[in-house]
A = this chain, B = another copy of it.
Amino acid sequence: MAFNNKIAPRSVDLSDWYLSVVEQAGLADYGPVKGTMIILPYGYAIWEKIVAFMDHEIKQKGVENAYFPLFIPESFLTKEKKHVEGFAPECAYVTIGGGETLTERLVVRPTSETIMYHTYAKLISSHRDLPLVMNQWNNVVRWEKRTFPFLRTSEFLWQEGHGAHATKEENYEMVEWGIRFYEKTFRDLLAVPGIVGKKSESEKFAGADSTLTYETLMPSGKALQSCTSHDLGQNFSKTFEIKFQDKDGTSKFVWQNSWGFSTRSIGAMVLAHGDDKGLVLPPRVAPIQVIILVIRPTEKLDIQAKKIASELKGHGIRVKIDSDDTKSVGYRINDAEIRGIPLRLELGQRELDQNQLTLAKRNTGEKLTFSVDQIVSQVPQLLETIHNEMLTKAENFLNENIRDATSYEEFKQILETHRGFVRVFWNQSEESETKIKLDCKCVSRCLPLDQEAKQGKDFQTGEPSTTQWLFAQAY
Chain A residues with CB under 8 Å of chain B are: 1-2, 29, 31-33, 36-41, 44-45, 47-48, 64-73, 76, 88-99, 105-106, 108, 115, 118-119, 122-123, 125, 129, 134, 138-139, 141, 143-145, 154-155, 157
Given the complex, which residues of B lie within 8 Å of A71, measured CB to CB?
31, 33, 36, 92, 141, 154-155
Q: Do the beta carbons of B90 and A98 come within 8 Å of each other?
A: yes
For A68, the closest partner residue in chain B by CB is B38
> Shortest CB–CB separation between residue A357 and chain B, in angstroms?
28
Given the complex, which residues of B lie within 8 Å of A139, measured CB to CB?
70, 138-139
Given the complex, which residues of B lie within 8 Å of A29, measured CB to CB?
119, 122
Given the complex, which residues of B lie within 8 Å of A67, measured CB to CB?
38-39, 44, 47, 157
Given the complex, which residues of B lie within 8 Å of A76, measured CB to CB?
32
List 10 other contacts, CB 8 Å, given A33-B72, A44-B67, A95-B95. Answer: A1-B129, A33-B71, A33-B73, A39-B68, A71-B154, A92-B96, A93-B96, A95-B96, A97-B154, A98-B143
Given the complex, which residues of B lie within 8 Å of A95, measured CB to CB?
93-96
> Shortest CB–CB separation between residue A377 and chain B, in angstroms?
27
Q: Do the beta carbons of B125 and A70 come within 8 Å of each other?
A: no
> Shortest CB–CB separation between residue A453 and chain B, in angstroms?
42
> Shortest CB–CB separation between residue A142 and chain B, in angstroms?
9
Report the bound CA distance from A75 to B4 in whole Å: 31
Q: What would be 18 A-B contacts, judged by CB atoms less than 8 Å apart? A: A29-B122, A31-B115, A32-B72, A32-B76, A36-B71, A38-B68, A41-B66, A44-B64, A45-B64, A47-B67, A70-B139, A89-B99, A91-B98, A92-B98, A93-B95, A95-B95, A95-B96, A97-B154
Q: Do the beta carbons of A89 and B96 come within 8 Å of each other?
A: no
Q: Do the beta carbons of B93 and A31 come within 8 Å of each other?
A: no
For A88, the closest partner residue in chain B by CB is B99
Given the complex, which residues of B lie within 8 Å of A91, measured CB to CB?
97-98
Given the complex, which residues of B lie within 8 Å of A106, measured CB to CB?
33, 92
Q: Do the beta carbons of B40 and A155 come within 8 Å of each other?
A: no
Q: Do the beta carbons of A65 and B44 come within 8 Å of each other?
A: yes
Q: Do the beta carbons of B65 and A38 come within 8 Å of each other?
A: no
Query: Given known contacts A2-B125, A94-B92, is B36 in contact with A69 (CB within 8 Å)?
Result: yes
Q: Do the beta carbons of B32 and A73 come within 8 Å of each other?
A: yes
Report the bound CA distance from A134 to B26 in whole Å: 14
Report the bound CA distance from A89 to B97 in whole Å: 8
Q: Do the beta carbons of B94 and A31 come within 8 Å of each other?
A: no
